[in-house]
Structure 1
Amino acid sequence: MASINRGLLQVQTPFLLARRFRGKINIQKPRKPHFERQLLIDFTKPWYVPPKNSMPDIALCDRGEKRRSEEIDNPFERILARECLNWFNTSKMVVFLHKNSIAMEDKMPIFAALKKNDMHLRTYGKKIVSMATNGTRYEAVNHLFTSHQEIIFGQPASVAKMFNIMKKAPQLVIMAGIIQDRLMSKNELVEFSKLPNLDVARSQLCSILQSAGSSLVGQLNQAQQMLVSNLDQHVELQNKSEPPAESKEPIEPKES
């Protein structure tokens, strides 16, 4: 048994032993490598860009022509662009929002509240909006888009309700809007939201028109009324200035 363990655990000595040549390695002045090794070292040497503070201004200018990748025709993008253009054409109120970082848990109640008041919150990217609005009257809104942004579609009567709902989501900032084919800023939208509804505006217009007609009639009758009053005053003054008429009785002849 001992002979078997000795045979299995026997350590074999290697045929080659690595030994240093000439003692220590010269680190300060190493010997030049072989030509092929030096060629490999030079070929694999990393190359770093020089720092920008040492480069001239002409080298820092990056306004040269850039290669553009070929645009791939995506049928789904065309469908989204057609849907976006349909929303623009059928909605008399379009409000553009700037979206900051917001969680879906905070965004969902805003979406539900807008939906309840007949307003629709949609998310479109810059490419989709440009495809939908190029060549149309809404082409000017492309300057408002840099990436994916939120758009509210609805009717002008819901502007005041929209502002009340958007107060609950400060992450969605109102930038501008389109009301009946007119581009408005945020301040103009706020002023528009303070206007009364159509029925009240019509009643106010009717009262203004009625007051204008009544004032015109009064101005036309004013001259006649003044003339009549002046004549009455003139007759009264004449009656006061004349003395009362004395009674004249016939004189009877005296008897002789």
Structure 2
Amino acid sequence: MASLKKVLLPTQASFMIAKRFRGKINIQRPRKPHFERQLLIDLSKPKYGTPKYLLPDAALCDRGEKKYAREIDNPFERILANECLNWFNTSKMVIFLHVNAISMEDKMPVFAALSKNNMHLRCYGKKIVSMATTGTRYEAVNHLFTSHQNIIFGQPENVAKMFKIMKKAPQLVIMAGIIQDRLMSKNELLEYSQMQNIDVARSQLCAVLDSAGSSLVRQLSLGQQALVGHLEKHVELQSASSKEPQDSTKSEPESTKTEPESTS
């Protein structure tokens, strides 16, 4: 039975045998590698050019010619640029943000709150914004971009709500904004958010204009009303003076009638 187990289950010998170096390895003067290893080392050895401080002046002169890198036309970038320009044209409120270090867990509630209030948070790079705004009335905003930055698109009546939402994420700093084709700073945006609704302001303006018009009409008609009043008073006085002689004539015949009766 034991011989059968040895035949069926032979012990496998290991292919790797640990070998211990009897002597110490010299790190300062290592042994040269064998030929194949040395060949791989020579093939993979990097080759550096001559340093600039060793080159002659003739090699460093570019003869005033500037070499520009060839720009590759990317269709996807053009699609993003058209989308960005469409947001600029359809939104009357555009807010530019400076983004500090923030995690997506902190940024997601802000994105959801802005979407609920009909505002959209988008992220575009400097190249995309430059392609979208070059040659348009929004070309001045290129100075606000240095890398990828966030932009809020919406309507002017939601400015106050936007400031309340942005208080939840201090990592998003408001730099400037465009309200109805006018570039404003952060302080001007705060003043605009504290203003009343445009419909209320229009009603107040209409009331002021109506009061000015009514006061002008009243002042113009004041002389006419005074003249009419004086004429009515004059007519009343004339009618009163004409009635007095008639009363006196009526009273004289009555007195003559009473005198004969007294003599009889």
Q: TM-score range by the shorter chain?
A: 0.5 to 0.7
Q: How many pairs are equivalent?
A: 194
Aligned equivalents of 1:172 and 1:76: distance in 2? 27
- Structure 1 residues 66 and 150, CA gap change in structure 2 (3 angstroms): farther
Aligned equivalents of 2:79 and 2:199: distance in 1? 39
Write the mapping of 1:1-256 to structure 2, written as runs, cut at 5 A.
67-227=67-227
Structure 2: tracts of 5 or more residues without a match:
1-21, 23-50, 54-63, 237-244, 260-264
- In percent, how many aligned pairs have the same letter? 76
Aligned to 1:30: none
**Counterpart amino acid of 1:108?**
M
Aligned equivalents of 1:186 and 1:65: distance in 2? 44
**Counterpart amino acid of 1:162?**
M
**Counterpart amino acid of 2:148?**
H
RMSD: 3.6
> How far off is 1:230 after superposition?
6.7
SS of the residue 2:147 aligns to: coil
Choose between structure 1 and 2: higher helix proportion. Answer: 2
Aligned equivalents of 1:234 and 1:110: distance in 2? 79
**Counterpart amino acid of 2:135?**
G
TM-score normalised by length of structure 2: 0.61
SS of the residue 2:207 aligns to: helix
Structure 1: tracts of 5 or more residues without a match:
1-10, 12-46, 50-63, 237-244
- CA deviations on 1:88-137 (whole Å, 9 max, x unpaired) are 11111111111111111111111111000000000111111001111111
- CA deviations on 1:163-191 (whole Å, 9 max, x unpaired) are 11111111111111111212122222122
TM-score normalised by length of structure 1: 0.63
Aligned equivalents of 2:235 and 2:105: distance in 1? 88
**Counterpart amino acid of 2:107?**
K
**Counterpart amino acid of 2:137?**
R
- Structure 1 residues 155 and 146, CA gap change in structure 2 (3 angstroms): same
Aligned equivalents of 2:118 and 2:125: distance in 1? 23
